[in-house]
A and B are shown apart, each in its own frame.
Chain A
């Protein structure tokens, strides 16, 4: 393959306050290739894509983008789209309340010479593009009523309608089931035949092996290497991605001895009134004292929803069934009550609803139990400072001071603040929802050590994670969810990744 490079990103360096997100990164993609960018979370993949699509505008980084043989300055998405670079993010840029054809042409409507939208032509073209992506839906359907897989195809149809030359897909299959994923990969190959170049970000190495022509591996904001199709090999990729052997990243803990049940759900159902479907179906889980129980499942399996239901954060759910804490049936109508009963929840979305980013470390740590640092409703600032300092030390939070604003901390330290905040209410049972998402390996290890320490103190952990090795490495027992239904229960000794995946994709 010696086709010329369609896109060349040279020595891209991008700094965020306090961190170098990309350090002299190079990316080369030939015309008509399917190129994968792989790397761990936080390796800089998304940042690179954001630079390429103009979200981080020209001037905010150093280095060059050469597209089609010309240096380009993208000041915004508009510029990159004009060149034919279209990015499809994990979060779709679709309007759920508009129809399929309106969505496809939003922003570049088909108009007649008077500037009036030509709906007949729009519909004809929409049908044409839908055929191209092989999507068989009525163009008058509202996008919100389509499934995720179909929505993705609408996104691709939209890209095609923008004369796409380079299609960028950020983890396109993360939210898709196997059938939809396969279809999507086939479509990408189909588009390749039509001369469309693709860049994909993916964590699924099987996919990479299946369709990649070349890959670039990033680690810690640096380009590690570029591999051609015939060099691609799963083990090499993993080695480059991680940069070290992946043994012993889960600290050991004595084998679980058993104990009383502290948390139990019985025939717990939750109906999401907004999505108009059940998100938790007949959940029966048990968590014992000093035990780490894992909840495995794919995206959309209802893991977070289960956690939220147990925690009482279920304003738009209709909940039936019961939750028992230490053998007593409890009515968990609000997180406040759950916290009083000794529950704590570490949110999977630490920036969205886990922390108050604009507040300082100390205020975040103490927010769950203000009565501990106040007398008769008046805050005791000295007590607050002492307590916060204690938690900062105990959890090893790296911050210049307890008065540092949380948004200036690194992901790992933010996560520790979130865990500290939950520990502050002195819980017995912690629900950790993706506690290691988006943090580096070192910080992960510290979080795992923390989990073990908590377990040692007799606390119980319900660990939700998308990373199977983490589930297998940290848990004593594992429940598998699929589409809201509990499909399996394993003791960790019996569980294998393949078994769990099989149960998760039922």
Chain B
């Protein structure tokens, strides 16, 4: 048998790896298509520095929510309250930082009497740093309490999370309207300004943002170093690794994407605080889900709650922790949103939870629990906001956006379901197997076709006895044909080592 030529082998192994892991790449394909289409319809403006920076800032709060929602969905729950909870917490921060005396400050008057109370209020009004610390702390305490309550209702009182969080959604909607007194409250506080529209301080390298360039370059070097180290470590530990050519191809691909991101950000204003917070949240949650005990427990609870319980995992506790984490991230999202829009408004919070949930599903989180990656959900958020942003930029009727978003969501979930049981494929092995079994395969195929034809004729004749015999013959031939097809389909390169050598 002839040995396969290196170029052909290279492409076949890339294809094999791609098909085998199609499930992981699905979202990136969707993202690439969307970006490509919008780049063309907007004559390149979509991926240009200004718009792309803008897009990432727009997507930030959804990405943060999606990260938390991933864990909620992984544990087989849902949280519909995050939109209004986030908006309420955002409004809570704005209202109290803008006008402490008329809101939380009143409590001090009630507790300590008018004089001391006024003094305390005056102190905080004069020292806005401490005021922000105080208000944020109170917001955190509030958020944790809400998380505990949700966790209790869901896991101890056994109320379905859909109902619990639906109720909470209404409650926080009311609290949002109450807090804002149904008016939009603008803020010009430096705290919100810097978070919402600020960028990392920088210097210029030529026409570009220096900090972004340097951070990007460092990141690229880090990625190269880490993946190379891991690759060789795996070889040393005897873990099976992919072909070097494949490894290098993937690495080059990753570097290209990172380089593009670096360039795009550096060409405008660099790295915004919103982006920084998002990266921080995604990074922390990525570590949390993949490298810690609590992460392992969360996924165990999601995959099989009963088995987790019998393995000594406190399922109720884990679910409560997940709801608390969701609350904290809602606080982040709320803060990011009010900071970006520079106001608190009763209009905020509408549909955030739906964007977050959709991001998770687009990112491949399984509705059955136990499966989902936070990074993919965050990228799912960018996909969704990319759609909105791109359509606006391309001047497409904005009313079409939800229709397209819905279609993308359904398609991505269908894709996910159909690729769930993709078996590993080795096209190089198949190439050899095809050569080896060609004659047997063709023979079996021919006989199968003949048997089918013979049966068809018998059916037309209406000869029952003959039909019975031929039916039997057909299934036998079909079995034979399937056996060869299967043999070729599941062939691996290792099976043909003697040929390769």
Interface residue? B478 (CB, 8 A) = yes
Q: Are B471 and A356 in contact (CB under 8 A)?
A: no
Beta-carbon contact of B310 and A347 below 8 Å: yes
State whether the Cβ of B475 lies closer than 8 Å to any Cβ in chain A: yes
- Residues of B close to A338: CB separation below 8 A: 312
**Cβ of B205 < 8 Å from any Cβ of A?**
no
CA–CA, A352 and B307, complex, Å: 7
Q: Does A353 contact B (CB under 8 A)?
A: yes
Contact A11 B476 (CB under 8 A): yes
Please give the distance in Å from A20's CB to the nearest CB on chain B.
Answer: 11
Residues A352 and B306 in contact, CB atoms below 8 Å apart? yes
Contact yes or no, B306 A367, CB < 8 A = no
Which residues in B have their C-beta under 8 angstroms from that of A42? none
Are B475 and A356 within 8 A (Cβ)?
no
Asked if A260 is at the interface of the complex by the 8 Å CB criterion, the answer is no
Say what secondary structure dominates the interface of chain B: helix
Contacts of B299 in A (CB 8 A): 359
> In the complex, are the beta carbons of A356 and B303 less than 8 A apart?
yes
Closest to A340 in B: B312
Q: Within A184-217, which residues are at the interface with B (CB < 8 Å)?
A: none
Which residues in window 383-426 of A have CB below 8 A to B?
Answer: 421, 425
Which of B300, B312, B314 has the most CB atoms of chain A within a 10 A radius of its CB? B312
CA gap between A51 and B468 in the complex, in Å: 18
Is the beta-carbon distance between A70 and B308 smaller than 8 angstroms?
Answer: no
- Which of B196-204, B218-226, B290-298, B390-398 touches A? B290-298
Q: Which one of B311, B371, B475, B482 contacts A335 once the chains associate, using CB atoms below 8 Å?
A: B311
- The answer to whether B472 has its CB under 8 Å from any CB of chain A is yes
- Cβ of B454 within 8 Å of any chain A Cβ, yes or no, is no
Closest chain B residue, CB of each to CB of A381 = B291
Q: Which of A64, A335, A369 contacts B310 (CB 8 A)?
A: A335
Which B residues, 299 to 335, have Cβ-Cβ distances below 8 Å to chain A? 299-300, 303-304, 306-314
Determine if A368 and B479 form an interchain contact, defined as CB atoms under 8 angstroms apart. Answer: no
> B370: CB under 8 A from chain A?
yes
B217 contacts the other chain (CB 8 A): no
- Inter-chain contact B307/A336, CB cutoff 8 Å: no
Q: Which of A66, A336, A367 is most buried by chain B, counting CB atoms within 10 A of its CB?
A: A367
Report the stretch among A139-147, A276-284, A318-326, A370-378 that lies at the interface: A370-378
B292 and A70 within 8 A (CB): no
On whether A71 and B292 interact (CB within 8 A), knowing A335-B310, A356-B300, A359-B300, the answer reads: no
The verdict on B467 contacting chain A, using a C-beta distance below 8 Å, is yes
Q: Given A10-B472, A69-B464, A378-B291 in contact, is the A356-B307 Cβ separation under 8 Å?
A: yes
Which of chain A's residues has its CB closest to B368's CB? A358
Do residues B296 and A370 form an inter-chain contact, with CB atoms below 8 A? yes
Chain A residues within an 8 Å CB radius of B471 = 64, 71
Closest chain-B Cβ to A299's Cβ sits at a distance in Å of 20
Q: How far is the CA of A313 from the CA of B312 in the complex (A)?
A: 9
Residue in B296, B472, B478, B479 whose CB lies within 8 Å of A363: B296
Does residue A334 face the partner (Cβ distance < 8 Å to B)?
yes
For B472, the chain A residues whose CB sits under 8 A away are 10-11, 63-64
A377 CA to B300 CA in the complex, in Å? Answer: 16
Interface assignment of A101: CB less than 8 Å from any CB of chain B: no
Query: In the bound complex, what is the Cα–Cα distance between A354 and B304 (angstroms)?
Result: 9
Flag if A353 contacts B312 (CB, 8 Å).
no
Say whether A374 contacts B293, CB under 8 Å.
Answer: yes
Any chain B CB within 8 A of the CB of A94?
no
A414 to chain B, nearest CB (A): 12
Kindly state the separation between the CA atoms of A374 and B288 in the bound complex, as whole angstroms: 13
Q: Are A356 and B308 in contact (CB under 8 A)?
A: yes
Q: Which residues of B contact A11 (CB under 8 A)?
A: 472, 475-476
Interface residues of A in 53-89 (CB under 8 A from B): 62-64, 66, 69-71
Cβ contact within 8 Å between B296 and A334: no
| A345 interfacial by beta-carbon distance below 8 Å | yes
Q: Are A336 and B476 in contact (CB under 8 A)?
A: no
**Chain A residues within an 8 Å CB radius of B292:** 374, 377-379
Chain A residues near B311 (CB, 8 Å)?
335, 339, 367-368, 421
In terms of DSSP, what is the predominant structure of the interface of chain A?
mixed
Report which residue of A71, A340, A371, A377 has the largest number of chain B beta carbons within 10 angstroms of its beta carbon.
A71
Contacts of A64 in B (CB 8 A): 468, 471-472, 475
Q: Which of B294, B307, B308 interacts with A377 by CB under 8 Å?
A: B294
Check A249 for interface membership: any CB of B closer than 8 A. no
The answer for the CA separation of A69 and B472 in the assembled complex, in Å, is: 14
| Total residues of chain A contacting the partner, CB 8 A | 40
Q: Across the interface, do A359 and B303 meet the contact criterion of CB distance under 8 Å?
A: yes
Decide: A62 near B296, CB < 8 A? Known: A352-B306, A358-B303.
no
Chain B residues whose CB sits within 8 angstroms of the CB of A339 once the complex forms: 311-312
CB of A441 closer than 8 Å to a CB of B: no
- What per-residue 1/0 map shows which CB atoms of A336-362 lie under 8 Å from chain B? 101110000101000011111111000
B306 contacts which chain A residues (CB < 8 A)?
Answer: 352-353
Interface membership of A486, Cβ < 8 A: no
User: B296: which of A70, A340, A367 is its contact (CB, 8 Å)?
Assistant: A367
Task: Kindly identify which residue among A70, A354, A370 contacts B464, using a CB–CB cutoff of 8 Å.
Answer: A70
Q: How far is the CA of A52 from the CA of B467 in the complex (A)?
A: 20
Interface flags, B383-414, vs A, CB<8A=1, else 0:
00000000000000000000000000000000
User: What's the Cα separation between A371 and B476 when bound, in Å?
Assistant: 54
* Residues of A contacting B309 in the complex (Cβ-Cβ under 8 angstroms): 313, 335, 353
Measured in the bound complex, the distance between the Cα atoms of B311 and A338 in whole Å is: 10
A340–B314 alpha-carbon span in the complex (Å): 13
A14 to chain B, nearest CB (A): 10
Residue of B nearest to A73 (CB): B471
Q: How far is the CA of A356 from the CA of B304 in the complex (A)?
A: 6
- Which residues of A from 1 to 40 have beta carbons under 8 Å from B? 10-11, 13
- Minimum CB–CB distance from A121 to chain B (whole Å) comes to 38
Residues in B with CB closer than 8 Å to A345 are 310
Instruction: Please give, as numbers and ranges, the residues of chain A lying within 8 Å of B304 by CB-CB distance.
Output: 353, 355-358
Question: What's the least CB distance linking A17 to chain B, in Å?
Answer: 9
Give the chain B neighbours of A377 by CB distance below 8 A.
292-294
- Chain B residues with Cβ under 8 A from A374's Cβ? 292-293
Q: Are B314 and A355 touching (Cβ within 8 A)?
A: no
Within 8 A of A (CB), among B26-41: none
Which chain B residues numbered 276 to 294 have a C-beta less than 8 Å away from chain A? 291-294
Across the interface, which residues of B come within 8 angstroms of A425, CB to CB? 312
Residues of B within 8 A of A379 (CB): 291-293, 295-296
- Whether B310 pairs with A62 at a CB distance below 8 angstroms is no
Nearest to A355 among chain B residues (CB) is B307
Query: With the chains together, A353 CA to B299 CA distance in Å?
Result: 15
Q: How far is the CA of A376 from the CA of B307 in the complex (A)?
A: 24
Shortest Cβ gap from B33 to chain A (Å)? 30
**Interface pair A62/B464, CB less than 8 Å apart:** no
Say how far A383's CB is from chain B's closest CB, in angstroms.
12
Q: Are A313 and B310 in contact (CB under 8 A)?
A: yes
Distance A321 CA – B322 CA, assembled complex (angstroms): 35
Interchain nearest-CB distance for B156 vs A (Å): 10
Query: Please, how many angstroms separate the alpha-carbon atoms of A64 and B307 in the complex?
Result: 40
Alpha-carbon gap, A356 to B313, bound state (A): 13
Q: In the complex, which residues of chain B have a beta carbon less than 8 angstroms from the beta carbon of A71?
A: 467-468, 471
A357 to B300, CA, bound (A): 10
Given contacts A313-B310, A335-B310, A354-B310, 10 further A-B contacts (CB under 8 A): A11-B476, A62-B479, A64-B471, A339-B312, A355-B304, A359-B299, A359-B303, A363-B300, A368-B312, A374-B293
- Give 18 CB contacts A-B under 8 Å: A10-B472, A13-B479, A62-B476, A62-B482, A63-B475, A64-B468, A69-B464, A335-B309, A335-B310, A335-B312, A353-B304, A353-B306, A354-B310, A356-B370, A367-B300, A374-B292, A374-B293, A379-B293
Interface residues of A (CB under 8 A from B): 10-11, 13, 62-64, 66, 69-71, 311, 313, 334-336, 338-340, 345, 347, 352-359, 363, 367-371, 374, 377-379, 421, 425
Q: Which residues of B contact A (CB under 8 A)?
A: 291-297, 299-300, 303-304, 306-314, 370-371, 464, 467-468, 471-472, 475-476, 478-479, 482
3 nearest interchain CB pairs? A353-B306, A62-B479, A339-B312
